[in-house]
Amino acid sequence: MNLYEFFSNDHYRRAELAFTQGTLIVVRGSGAYRIYLYTIGKFFAEVWCRIEDNEVDLVRGFKSLDLLEPYLELIDLSEITG
């Protein structure tokens, strides 16, 4: 699946694709949300779930490494850096 195909779905289907076809990398919190970061093929997907009721409000896909900045402190790179 490529990013274009991912975006051709509504956000509920995009969340399902992330859960079923993606690999979970890390989870972070932001305000009232728990944000799950997945990798799906050659792009990343964020699934924004409300903490209060676990409903999905937003699913976005991206390739830009700049958008990974909020996750850098959360990812343990020691396994791959020696």
End-to-end CA distance of the chain: 32
Q: Residue 80: pLDDT band by 50, 70, 90 thresholds?
A: very low
SS3 percent helix, strand, coil of the chain, rounded to 5, is 35, 40, 30
What pLDDT is recorded for position 76? 65
Q: How far apart are CA 20 and CA 78, in angstroms?
A: 27
Q: How far apart are CA 9 and CA 76, in angstroms?
A: 32
What is the rounded average pLDDT of the residues 64-70?
A: 87
* φ/ψ of residue 36, rounded to 5: -100, 130
What pLDDT is recorded for position 79? 53
What is the rounded average pLDDT of the residues 63-80?
A: 76
12-66 pLDDT tens trace: 999 999 999 999 999 999 999 999 999 999 999 999 999 999 999 999 999 988 8
Confidence (pTM):
0.86
Domains of the chain with bracketed CATH: 3-81 (3.30.67)
